[in-house]
Amino acid sequence: MIELAAKTGTLTVGELLAEAISVFQNTGCVRPRFEAEYLLQAALGLNKVTLFLSSKKIVAPEDIVCYQGMLDRRLACEPLQYIAGEVEFWSRNFLVTPDVLIPRQETEFVLEQVLFLAGQQPDVCRRVLDMGTGSGIIAAVLADELSCQVIAVDSSPSALKVASTNINAHHLQTRVSFVCSDLFTAVSRSQQFDIIVSNPPYVAEAEKDNLHPEVTVYEPFSALFAGPDGLDCYRHLIPGSYEYLRPGGWLCLEIGAHQGPAIIKMLEGNGYLDVAILSDYAGQPRFAQGKKE
């Protein structure tokens, strides 16, 4: 617990920031200034520029209390994004809570590939399914960029609430609908999709002890882990998707960096054509695609 509140009424924004940076430095934080600024922006509702321009302003007592609460949560290893309650993804802001995975940059690469495939047949892509929508980032970006209808599926009702809030905030409620379902079990059989995209849980349970507590303590287990080798979800998702794709439709998957060979085998073994694994800008093979005949 840090004691900023005792200085209520006397601290300027700049002084408050300096105190927080020093607290983070003393605890061995690797990015003390970045983290202190990130949280102060969230506490005061400012951006980087307005925070800088406000450095000589006295901070309101309630804002100091709010900031102190945020710093205490961070010192307990809670991810910055949950504390701030939002994250920037695809240059848009999305609500995040501990009910959903914090969106990762790798997923932007997945979306770029999906948009590329959709762009090959611009008049054809009308219906997309986002399996394991979480915060709804994939559904929101695709509904907006492709002006298509998206069914966003998740087995977690609380994740779907977050996704729905995000879809409403981006004014996409006429394009995105939600289904609470364990994979395809509650998705109507009569539906055929042009693209099914998924960033499913894919971490091997055996990896749990190697992950940072920021991830294992705070992010939802069901969003991360998929059995002993991390492939359990793909084992059902890959054959299941084939039934729901129209002929010529694409299955697009985010995958773990070491899962490419196993995923190729599953896609080919289930009849998909044009199977490929693509590497992201960090050179990691993180995207898999396969087409229904």
Ligand X SMILES: C[S@@+](CC[C@H](N)C(=O)[O-])C[C@H]1O[C@@H](n2cnc3c(N)ncnc32)[C@H](O)[C@@H]1O
Report the residue from 68, 156, 166, 289 that binds ligand X according to the rule CB under 6 A. Answer: 156
Angle at 46 between CA 77 and CA 5, to 5 degrees: 60
113 and 246 Cβ atoms separated by less than 8 Å: no
Q: What angle do the packed helices 61-75 and 13-26 form, to 10 degrees? A: 20
| Nearest distance from C-beta of residue 81 to ligand X, angstroms | 11
Using the minimum distance from each CB to ligand X, give the nearer residue, 132 or 260. Answer: 132
Contact in structure between 195 and 240 (CB atoms under 8 Å): no
Count CA within 13 A, CB hemisphere, residue 78.
Answer: 16
Q: Report which residue type is found at 224.
A: L
What is the footprint of ligand X within residues 33-52 (CB under 6 A)? Answer: none
Nearest residue (CB) to ligand X, 63 versus 260 = 260
The residue range among 46-54, 99-107, 166-174, 259-267 that interacts with ligand X, by the rule CB under 6 A, is 99-107
Q: C-alpha distances in angstroms, 274 versus 9, 13, 136, 243?
A: 65, 56, 28, 17
The verdict on 81 binding ligand X (CB under 6 A) reads no
* 75 class by beta-carbon count within 10 Å (0-12 exposed, 13-18 middle, 19+ buried): middle
Segment holding 130, helix H or strand E: strand 127-131
* Residue 241 binds ligand X, judged by CB under 6 A: no
Q: Which residue in the set 16, 37, 114, 201 belongs to the binding site for ligand X (CB under 6 A)?
A: 201
Q: Does 137 bind ligand X (CB under 6 A)?
A: yes
CA nearest to 100, candidates 165, 174, 41: 165
Note whether 289 binds ligand X by CB under 6 A: no
Residue 230, interface with ligand X (CB under 6 A)?
Answer: no
Query: Does the footprint of ligand X cover residue 200 (CB under 6 A)?
Result: yes
Decide: is 138 part of the binding site for ligand X (CB under 6 A). yes
Contact between 259 and ligand X by CB under 6 A: the answer reads no
Residue in 79, 134, 230, 290 binding ligand X, rule: CB under 6 A: 134
Which of 141, 159, 172, 238 is in the footprint of ligand X by CB under 6 A?
A: 159
Judged by CB under 6 A, how many residues of this single chain contact ligand X?
23
Q: Output DSSP code: residue 155.
A: S
Which residues sit at the interface with ligand X, rule CB under 6 A? 100-101, 103, 107, 132-135, 137-138, 153-156, 159, 182-183, 199-201, 222-223, 233
